[in-house]
Structure 1
Amino acid sequence: MSLSVFVTPRSFGKHSSAPLDLLKERGLDVRTNPYGRILTKEEMIASVGDADAIIVGVDPLDRDVLERAPRLRIIAKYGVGTDNIDLAYAASRGIAVTTTIGANTEAVADYTFALMLAAARKVVPIDRGCRGGDWRKLTTVDVYGRTLGLIGLGNIGKAVVRRAAGFAMNVVAFDAVRDEAYAAANGVTYVDAVDEVLATSDFVSLHVPLTERTRHMIGARELALMKPTAVLVNTARGGLIDEDALYEALRSEAIWGAGVDVFEQEPPENTALFELTNLVIGSHCAASTVQAIDNMGIMAARHVIDHLCGVSKS
């Protein structure tokens, strides 16, 4: 019986056949997402019964799903966030879990800056106005020379720092684990609390995983600490921001704007968010570039091959 790989991300192998070719060259039977969207829990349960490996995006892999996959040996995450996977249960079963760290770092950092610029300069409402014949000039806020606050200074946070250098931004950061050598070499100032980042920054960008500790880490209290001309950006994980509190802060113009690529539910449940002109919304697409997709696909495929078949060819 051939080994079976179930692939859920819709973009896997979309621009290049290389990821699929790698799996098939090793004799693996590859099944892909038949729905053209994120799978529901019930659809996952119905799909994983014969899987020896799963290459997964944000589809649910909780205990109920994993219990229906008795042959499963590896979960290869197509990305880096693992909050959709029951890691404890996977470990208890001896199921390996890998991520594609680094594959989409530059793409996500680019999109972080795109959201910052779009929110600060009101790119979306200006574009919409012009298309409707309204050529009035809207007053906006600068990015150049302002203070950027990062909550989380891992690989993507550091990639954002590289881009901020071109805008002569002053960078402050909070992270539970400090890289003092990096900070000293790159002009980053660590602060002791998230509140200090929020109160002193013109732009705040989130780069932390979603855990019970970080869920709704940005709520009404935290938003009230921010400057009225500040912009909040989230390209990390949905659930870090209390979306109802964000709506109120943006509606009342307590902060200047926000750029959000990730939501607790996608599309978001609070459809009133769509009516805000000071919110730029993404469809969880920060990592969706041709290059990042190819990188993630190849890396995930190699993780599967390494685990099921032995070391893959570089």
Structure 2
Amino acid sequence: MSEPHTQSTQHPQQPQRTQRIQHTYPRVIETQPERTDLPLVVMPSVIESMIGPFTANLELLHDIARVRMYTDCVSDSDMILARSADADAVMVIGFHVPDAMLDRFCGFDGRAGHVRCFAFGGTGVASYINLQRTREHDVRVCNIVHYGDHAVAEHTFALIMELAREVGRLNTEVKNGDWTGADGYALHNKTLGLVGFGGIGRAVARIAQGFGMQVAVWNAHVDPSVARTFGVTLIDDMGDLMAASDIVSLHLPLLDSTRGIVTAAVLDRMRPGTLFINTARAEIIEPGALSARLSRGDIRAALDVFDHEPLPMDDPLRSVPGIILTPHVAWRNDEAYIGLTKQVVQSIASFFTGGTFNIAN
């Protein structure tokens, strides 16, 4: 396997600040290229920060599969198909697999396909691949679990803090000579309502309690003993949770049963002044319901996920006053990359050795 080369970029004018190391990678990283007897795994696109963690884990596929990893991030369907033309398995990082691409990979109109497994580098795989269609093709899809619970929880609170204290705006104003400042919004003694109480929701609850907040959770089959362990209050009706909360944060996975579960009627129960956070999936909200609720101008929101990504320039969310928008990065930090990349590679290894690790479909 080719070894990546690293280069450090220094900025003497800011010696007190930790600088990011700039890496130079070959265009393609391959393992065991001479082992044509082994199945081929292709990663046609990758986020640069993942390259190092991925290369550290590729040894898990030694004598199981050879790997061809392209070291840039692309989303063009034709390029992804061309790079993966002879792949037995594809690692899906940073791009969607629309039905037309899926059919090209897996066979259509009597033509044989070549891809037998997709390993998705995330948890919300249903947003990226049509799972029903993969079942029809008899192709395995794997996703990963709990790799970024703390990363997403921390980003959730970054969004909450930005709404509460407006640090980003104040930073810009001070640098521009404006010393006016702004009044903050206290978190202490406020009620945080969580819709979803898996690994991420539980991590968010612990952070909230550190701020002295009260935490309420929508009771979608949450075990009472778990609620007692985490010191949260269960509320049976989602609308009642919205009405009782000063801040609402969504942490449900996207499943057939959760798609559109946060309805316009539920959002209507939020009181004026409520802060609304979504770092889960946009599709768990009824289409159009959030934009309609925000258009009333009496609640503020911070969002990391959207119905269409990248967010179109003409999307009405862009024009909502005071809204905070981030580009689906809640899961992205150094710790999460380590867990994510290892699970993706383990999923591929499991598939080719007859295991059942992290099957999503």
Q: Which TM bucket (shorter chain)?
A: 0.7 to 0.9
Which structure has more RCO (C-alpha within 8 Å, separation ≥ 6)? 1
1:79 aligns with 2:122: yes
Q: 1:18 aligns with which of 37, 56, 62?
A: 56
Q: Percent identity?
A: 30
Distance 1:219 1:127, change over 3 A: farther
For the residues of structure 2 that align with 1:133 and 1:216, how far apart are their CA atoms? Answer: 45
- Structure-1 residue corresponding to 2:88: 52
Q: Deviations over 1:63-121 (max 9, x none)?
A: 43232222323222211111112222323333222222011111111111111111122
- Structure-2 residue corresponding to 1:141: 185
- How many residues are treated as equivalent by the alignment? 308
**Structure 1 contact 6–55 (Cα < 8 Å) conserved:** yes
Distance 1:33 1:209, change over 3 A: farther
For the residues of structure 1 that align with 2:178 and 2:261, how far apart are their CA atoms? Answer: 39
**Structure 2 contact 99–130 (Cα < 8 Å) conserved:** yes
Q: 1:65 aligns with which of 101, 105, 124?
A: 101
Question: Which shows bigger deviation, 53-62 or 195-204?
Answer: 53-62
1:229-240 superposed matches below 5 A: 229-240=273-284
- Structure-2 residue corresponding to 1:28: 65
Distance 1:174 1:87, change over 3 A: same
The unaligned stretches of length 5 or more in structure 1 are none
The unaligned stretches of length 5 or more in structure 2 are 1-35, 106-112, 356-361
**Structure 1 contact 12–297 (Cα < 8 Å) conserved:** no
Q: Kindly state the Cα deviation for residue 122 of structure 1 after the two structures are TM-superposed.
A: 2.0
Which structure has the larger Rg? 2
Q: Kindly state the Cα deviation for residue 276 of structure 1 after the two structures are TM-superposed.
A: 4.4
SS in 2 for 1:225: coil
For the residues of structure 2 that align with 1:116 and 1:100, how far apart are their CA atoms? Answer: 26
1:142-291 superposed matches below 5 A: 142-211=186-255, 214-218=258-262, 220-241=264-285, 246-247=290-291, 249-250=293-294, 252-255=296-299, 257-269=300-312, 270-276=314-320, 278-291=322-335
For the residues of structure 2 that align with 1:307 and 1:191, how far apart are their CA atoms? Answer: 41
TM normalised by structure 2 equals 0.76
For the residues of structure 2 that align with 1:216 and 1:33, how far apart are their CA atoms? Answer: 36
Q: How well do the aligned residues superpose, as a CA RMSD in angstroms? A: 2.6
- Structure-1 residue corresponding to 2:155: 111
Q: Deviations over 1:222-242 (max 9, x none)?
A: 433212221111111133346
Q: Kindly state the Cα deviation for residue 179 of structure 1 after the two structures are TM-superposed.
A: 2.2
For the residues of structure 2 that align with 1:14 and 1:32, how far apart are their CA atoms? Answer: 9
Q: Deviations over 1:240-277 (max 9, x none)?
A: 3468654565464311x211111112231245544545
Distance 1:94 1:242, change over 3 A: closer
Q: 2:142 aligns with which of 98, 117, 139?
A: 98
Q: 2:337 aligns with which of 273, 293, 303?
A: 293
**Structure 1 contact 112–286 (Cα < 8 Å) conserved:** yes
Q: Kindly state the Cα deviation for residue 204 of structure 1 after the two structures are TM-superposed.
A: 0.7
